A and B are shown apart, each in its own frame.
Chain A
Amino acid sequence: GEDVEQSLFLSVREGDSSVINCTYTDSSSTYLYWYKQEPGAGLQLLTYIFSNMDMKQDQRLTVLLNKKDKHLSLRIADTQTGDSAIYFCAERGTGGYQKVTFGIGTKLQVIP
């Protein structure tokens, strides 16, 4: 079945840029997502990119998609302590709305 892989942990200093990477296996992915989970909370949709795009920018967030290599990245500019959270990469294939596969999440630690 489909698989989404991402590293477990990333530590950055406040003010630096953070880059969280993800790879996926489903070549028929239509949407790719980044969700943010703060402690004790549910997942919040942070941003997404449609599979026919290669870049999307939204304020401090930049999403890059390399469809050939099935690689997705999330760059957070000027990282703040409030960005400390777990970030989940997810992909949606063509099997319907329920067919969203999540990665295991990357814990971002921002050091003041």
Chain B
Amino acid sequence: DTQLTQSPSFLSASVGDRVTITCRASHGIRSYLAWYQQKPGKAPKPLIYAASTLQSGVPSRFSGSGSGTEFTLTISSLQPEDFATYYCQQLNNYPYTFGQGTKLEIK
């Protein structure tokens, strides 16, 4: 299985901050990476696919980049509704594994 490691696991930030979450793959996955946002008691919400393509309806303050083994999710200006847990997922080879998650909390 392809292992994904997210950093940091916890992130404390303020409204208006710019934050970046990193996802590293144990081996190359081309651009087959997606990002999801999950709030407590809810299903994951898709944000980005193919490493950098914004899913329909997702605000433009979210962006993704990377290919191969290193990827980033950036939120340019945090809004109150962005405080949640974020997961990356590789879809290069089955089983499609997820990172362990990054919990974004209000400072």
Same complex for A and B? Answer no
A residues whose Cβ falls under 8 Å from a Cβ of B: none
B residues whose Cβ falls under 8 Å from a Cβ of A: none
